[in-house]
Amino acid sequence: MKKTRLNARMLISALLMAVLLISASSCNRKDTEPEPVPDTADAQEKGSKVIVVYFSYTGNTKTLAQYIAEETDADTYEIIAKDPYTEDDTRYDEDTRAYKEQSDPDCRPEIDGQLPDLSGYEIVFVGYPIWHGQAPKIVYTFLENVELAGKTVIPFCTSAESPVGNSAKNLEPLAPEANWQEGVRLEIDMTQDDISKWIISLYASK
Ligand SMILES: Cc1cc2nc3c(=O)[nH]c(=O)nc-3n(C[C@H](O)[C@H](O)[C@H](O)COP(=O)(O)O)c2cc1C
């Protein structure tokens, strides 16, 4: 497993070099960037170029996000709702907070805490569970409030059975200047080794 992980990191380094060359001229950052949150600031000092951002309610997406971070030597940022979701909010039912939020195109649930400064990253994985066929609206809040211009964004989702469908495509207009990759659905029982192979296939196809 160690050898596979090393290969994944080598492939990622190669992709990073390519991404750096392509995105250097198109990178367009905000004048007033927020102060970096401490863990991402530390990681940037270490020279990390990949970050795995995720929202997870029951932990499935979080587990896979952590595997991806491990494989890519990345930092992580968990999107946490300011108003935490309860069991009642998320029942698979039409009369719930989650359903109402998902049905409202303008809904943008508030994120708790500070958003990360993404200026030091070239590749941003964005993970989410499928909620009523789409990414949870709090992921929309995130994407609309960070600077992703020129960055490679790799969406991934988990679900009970729904495919990624148009859930990832529907995120693209929220950060139109990012270099969006095809969204993928990952099985919730994937192991660290499975994730390693997926990442190798991802970069090998570039
Ligand atoms: C509010 C809500 C809506 C959901 N909608 C869907 C859905 O439309 N299709 C599906 O296959 N799974 C659906 N699920 C199941 C989750 O996508 C699945 O369990 C996912 O792996 C959870 O990820 P998490 O543990 O990171 O929150 C839904 C779960 C919740 C809580």
For 7-39, give the DSSP string: HHHHHHHHHHHHHHHHHTTT----SSPPPPPHH
For residue 126, give the nearest of 182, 42, 43, 188 by alpha carbon. 182
For ligand 1, pick from 62, 130, 132, 134 the residue to mutate: most ligand atoms within 8 Å of CB.
Answer: 130
Instruction: Spell out the alpha helix ranges (H) of the chain.
Output: 2-23, 38-45, 60-72, 97-103, 137-144, 192-204
pLDDT of residue 93: 83
The atom number, within ligand 1, closest to the CA of 133 reads 8
Ligand 1-lining residues (CB < 6 angstroms): 56-62, 90, 92, 98, 129-133, 158-162, 188
- Measured by CA distance, the residue closest to atom 17 of ligand 1 is 159
Q: CA-CA distance, 166 to 152, in Å (whole number)?
A: 19
When pLDDT is averaged across residues 61-71 and rounded to a whole number, the result is: 97
Tokens (6 digits) for 1: 């497993």
Is 80 exceeded by the pLDDT of residue 203? no
How would residue 8 be classed by pLDDT, with cut points 50, 70 and 90?
A: low
Q: What is the pLDDT of residues 105-133, one digit of tens each?
A: 999 999 999 999 999 999 999 999 999 99
Q: 57 alpha carbon to ligand 1 midpoint, in Å?
A: 9
Q: What percentage of the chain exceeds 90 in pLDDT?
A: 72
Is 70 exceeded by the pLDDT of residue 92? yes
Total domains in the chain come to 1
CATH number at residue 122: 3.40.50.360
Q: CA-CA distance, 26 to 29, in Å (whole number)?
A: 10
Q: 96 alpha carbon to ligand 1 midpoint, in Å?
A: 14
Containing structural domain, residue 86: 2-28+36-204
- Measured by CA distance, the residue closest to atom 4 of ligand 1 is 131
Residue partners of 188: CB distance under 8 A and separation at least 6: 60, 63, 64, 158
pLDDT of residue 12: 61
Q: Strand locations in 31-185, DSSP E?
A: 50-54, 75-78, 123-129, 152-158, 179-180, 184-185
For ligand 1, pick from 63, 92, 99 the residue to mutate: most ligand atoms within 8 Å of CB.
Answer: 92
Looking at every residue in the chain, the average pLDDT score rounds to 85
Q: 125 alpha carbon to ligand 1 midpoint, in Å?
A: 19
Q: 173 alpha carbon to ligand 1 midpoint, in Å?
A: 23
How would residue 61 be classed by pLDDT, with cut points 50, 70 and 90?
A: very high
Q: CA-CA distance, 72 to 44, in Å (whole number)?
A: 14
Residue 181 three-state SS: coil
Tokens (6 digits) for 185: 């659905």
